[in-house]
Amino acid sequence: MADSSRITVDTVYGQMVVNPNDHPRGKSLAETGQAYDHEDIALLVDLVKKRGPESVVIDVGANCGSYALAMARHAAQVIAIEPQRELVQQLRDTIELNPFGHRIFAMHAAAGRGGDRFWEVPALDYTARHETDIVRLAAATDETPRARLVPETTVDHVVGILQLARVDILKIDAEGMDLDVLAGARETILRFKPILFVEWRHTDRFAMQRVLFEDFGYPSAQVIGGNDFLCDPDVVTPDPLHSYVPGDLPTLLMPEALATMEDLARSAPQGCFVEVGVYQGGSAQRLYRIAEAQERTLWLFDSFVGHVEASAVDWHPVGAFNAGGGPAARVVQETLPNAYIVMGRFPDVLAVKPVAFECLRDIAFAHLDVDQYESTRRAIRVLWSRLISGGIILIDDYDLDGCKLAVTTTCYEMGIGIEMTKEGKAVLRKP
């Protein structure tokens, strides 16, 4: 590997070995001396300080160690678990450079729910621009080269073999494996009640809330930066996640986004409501209540078996957000009896369900929440053609690359202006 791929830099966390080709983490550390997500690191450092100098931290998804190093300055021990060998090597070099580095124990492993198995780390060219922060592991096969294999462990196992007598903070950033990591940390969490800082962005947020609140008994969770939950057993935040309403249908949307959706729907001109992307029905239920009060028709479209396609730009694979097929659709139908639920791939389903094709007219408000490039692109065209003057399409996933590309290209082609909500969602308004 070329020397420029591993350089030593002074950072606000200490001396670090980083790769400036690693965008944005290595690059920001090399160029500015701090990580691009420094605010999160600073927050965790404050929490370590709050727990005191005897603190023990477990950092799952440690990357090159910016969090681990920052926390190690104030903690007794930081166990850093990272599946990418190159990053573990960088961290081990970083450890040697700092007087408090010995407090970090760097493990080359993938944390999960506990299986006697290996994972495959994707091949990256470290000499060219790359992004280690979004690397996802795949199940290893017989063909996986040995150099790209990483063994699975669990937080509980690590705590056991290291005979840790306390765990104060558990940080989890496992790119979609976060729920598995929580499952594999069950004993540790129940025994030590650590402060949890866990990424929900790439998992089923509702499932994570259920685990945090119901299985582990945390009183509340704060949303940090739109990606992470912070659960401190000693802190009941004044604004706990109120989108988690026991008894209501689950939703992946944040409370603020739901409130904005409701405001836009409520003030839409006379006409029907549509949602494409229902999943377990939470946002649909919010629309349903307004539709019932305002005597509007509500159309709900979903495959109910998850995403039906994935382009190279998309984050989620085919089948992500599989609600469970027909039985899931029935639960939504029973809860929202007056809604018209059309199960299938949108918009193709309109061709095979002539009633829906004929009746779906005069759309006043459409909530489009299908995440993916192709589905978003095709849905915008159909919904726009049936939107009445003054009608609105609210697109939830504008922060996802695939969705954003679909919105910007389609709107450019069709001459549609894009407005933004304060939560960063896209709004298309028909003149």
Contact residues for ligand SAM, defined by CB under 6 A: 251-253, 277-279, 282-283, 301-303, 306-308, 321, 323, 345-346, 369-372, 375
Helix 255-266 vs helix 282-293: angle between axes, to the nearest 10 degrees? 30
Residue nearer to ligand SAM on the CB measure, 213 or 279: 279
Inter-helix orientation angle 373-385/401-414, to 10°: 40
Residues 6+ apart with CB under 8 A from 1: 126, 127
Residue closer to ligand SAM (CB basis): 156 or 371:
371
Token pair, residue 381, equals 């065209």
Q: Are 57 and 162 in contact (CB under 8 A)?
A: no
CB of 134 to ligand SAM, least distance (A): 18
Report, in Å, the least distance between residue 419 CB and ligand SAM.
Answer: 20
Q: Are 150 and 119 in contact (CB under 8 A)?
A: yes
Nearest-approach distance from CB 326 to ligand SAM, in angstroms: 13
Question: To the nearest whole angstrom, how small is the minimum distance from the Cβ of residue 182 to ligand SAM?
Answer: 20
- Which amino acid is present at 15? Q
Identity of the residue, 187 or 309, whose beta carbon is nearer to ligand SAM in the bound complex: 309
φ, ψ (nearest 5 deg) of residue 408: -65, -40
Nearest approach in angstroms of CB 354 to ligand SAM is 18
Return the bridge partners of 80, or none.
59, 106
Dihedral over alpha carbons 292, 242, 376, 401 (to 10 degrees): 170
* Shortest reach from residue 95's CB to ligand SAM, in Å: 40
In this complex, which beta carbon is closest to ligand SAM, that of residue 88 or of residue 370? 370
Of 203 and 372, which has the nearer Cβ to ligand SAM?
372
**Nearer Cβ to ligand SAM (199/302):** 302
Backbone conformation region of residue 17, classed left if phi is above 0, alpha if psi is from -120 to 50, else beta: beta
